[in-house]
Chains A and B, each alone.
Chain A
Amino acid sequence: MNDTQWPLWEVFVQGNPGIPHKHVGSVHAPDAEIAIQNARDVYTRRSEGISIWVVPSNAISASTPEDQGAFFEPSNDKPYRHPTFYKIPDGVKYL
């Protein structure tokens, strides 16, 4: 059998209750269970987390840096999406 050193998984850790999981790196593991155990040992040795997600690396699709401009720029010319776009007279409260 070819010594593959196991497939790659991306690791996401939630640092504290109520905040989102954040990508911290990757681990090699034969399955999800061991990926979670390895991720615990590699990325949370000093109580950096209360929850871990692992995802097979090849299951992640990402936007491409080359298209960054064309992809994200359309929102730049829509300032009316921000509350600061609107002028409200000084006397008006709670708006």
Chain B
Amino acid sequence: MEDSKKLEQFEAKIASGQKIEPKDWMPEAYRKQLIRMMSQHAHSEIVGMLPEGNWITRAPSLRRKAILLAKVQDEAGHGLYLYSATETLGVDRKDLLEQLHTGKAKYSSIFNYPTLTWADIGAIGWLVDGAAIMNQTALARGSYGPYARAMVRICKEESFHNRQGYEIMMQLAQGTPEQKEMAQDALNRWWWPAIMMLGPGDDQSPNSEQLMRWKVKMESNDAIRQRFIDRTVPQAEFIGLKIPDKDLKFNEATGHYEHGPINWDEFFEVIKGNGPCNAKRLKDRIEADKKGRWVREAALAYAAKREKEKVVA
């Protein structure tokens, strides 16, 4: 069959709401874009374990420690679902990891900020997981079957992440003046990075009409950002915290919040590798991979030995 005919069938299938499965014909540009997006997403999940892992040993109670452990373990799970979904496109996880470790592949800008206090763990769950949910519920309607299915699963788990973070913030906001100040300080530091992690504005990143038609991208960055702000501002008000944006105001006519200017220079600097923690995150990732190598090798050697014994017996 001619490629143009195949392309026509491929697009008709997507337009009718059907999913594309791994062995189906797909245009090279579709495969490439998905590998890039999905592996970036997988990398973000596992790099995202680092800033939160930082607080596991110092969680303020056993309850909080168990919750944070479970959350960080979920993020590891998300990384694994996503790597395995990416592998259905004909790539190897070890190559994807190498791209991460050599800096060739990116991960979310947000994880290059430090977690300075316990309140940051609250802010991350509430804001970072909150923003991620906005993005991921859109992606769950995407056209590539394995990615969309992974997103459905991930979204279910994210809502616990979101709530435990808000609960931490709420508790601090209702605590001593120092605790409330700690919560406000975390919100001040995480608000703008969370706003930015949803990606450049539509004027700077024209949404390729093709990616929308192919349902690789489902919604524009600005549309997702607007929804995130609309939902989050009242949550902050409810617990008496102040969003650090003096231009923020509710527009009665549109029913949406209007926000002040976003510092995109900061965003692009972080993406380029000049954020506060880029070097540390990469170093920690590479070290974790190196330290795990002997375990992978030993387990393989053991499996080979047992396989041999089976043959003899």
A interface residues with partner B (beta carbon < 8 Å): 1, 3-6, 8, 25-28, 30-31, 34, 41-43, 45-46, 62, 64-66
| Interface pair A30/B81, CB less than 8 Å apart | no
Indicate whether B84 reaches chain A with its CB closer than 8 angstroms.
Answer: yes
Q: Are B302 and A41 in contact (CB under 8 A)?
A: no
In the complex, residue of chain B having the shortest beta-carbon distance to the beta carbon of A63: B23
Known A-B contacts A41-B77, A64-B23, A65-B21; A4 and B300 likewise in contact (beta carbons under 8 Å):
yes
Residues of B within 8 A of A30 (CB): 296, 299-300, 302-303
B297/A1 in contact, CB under 8 A: yes
| A87 to B243 CA separation, bound complex (whole angstroms) | 70
Residues on A with C-beta less than 8 A from B93 are 5, 28
Distance in angstroms between the alpha carbons of A25 and B73 in the assembled complex: 18
Interface size class of B (residues with CB under 8 A): 20 to 34
Contact between B23 and A5 (Cβ–Cβ < 8 Å)? no
Q: Find chain A residues with CB under 8 A from B87 CB.
A: 8, 26
Assembly CA distance A90 to B114 (angstroms): 76
Residues of A within 8 A of B85 (CB): 25
Q: How far is the CA of A42 from the CA of B299 in the complex (A)?
A: 19
Closest to B70 in A: A45
* Smallest beta-carbon distance A38→chain B, Å: 8
Which 9 A-B pairs have CB atoms at the shortest separation, nearest pair first? A31-B303, A30-B299, A30-B303, A26-B84, A5-B94, A30-B300, A65-B24, A42-B80, A25-B84
Interface residues of B in 66-98 (CB under 8 A from A): 70, 73-74, 77, 80-81, 84-85, 87, 92-94, 97
> B73: which A residues are within 8 A, CB to CB?
41, 45
Q: Is B134 an interface residue, CB under 8 A from the partner?
A: no
A53 to chain B, nearest CB (A): 16
Known contacts A4-B300, A45-B74, then 7 further A-B pairs from the complex at CB < 8 Å, ordered by chain A residue? A3-B296, A8-B87, A25-B84, A25-B146, A30-B302, A34-B299, A65-B21
Pairs A–B under 8 Å by Cβ, sample size 11: A1-B300, A4-B296, A5-B94, A6-B300, A8-B84, A25-B81, A26-B84, A26-B87, A34-B303, A41-B77, A65-B25
Contact at A62–B81, with CB atoms within 8 Å?
Answer: no
> Taking CB as reference atom, which chain B residue is nearest A45?
B77
Residue picked from A25, A27, A28, A45, most chain B C-beta under 10 Å:
A25
A3:B293 contact, CB within 8 angstroms: yes
B296 touches which one: A6, A42, A46 (CB < 8 A)? A6
Interchain nearest-CB distance for A85 vs B (Å): 28
Is B249's beta carbon under 8 Å from chain A?
A: no
Tell whether, in the assembled complex, residue B303 and residue A65 are in contact, meaning their CB atoms are under 8 Å apart.
no
B306 interface residue, CB < 8 Å from A?
yes
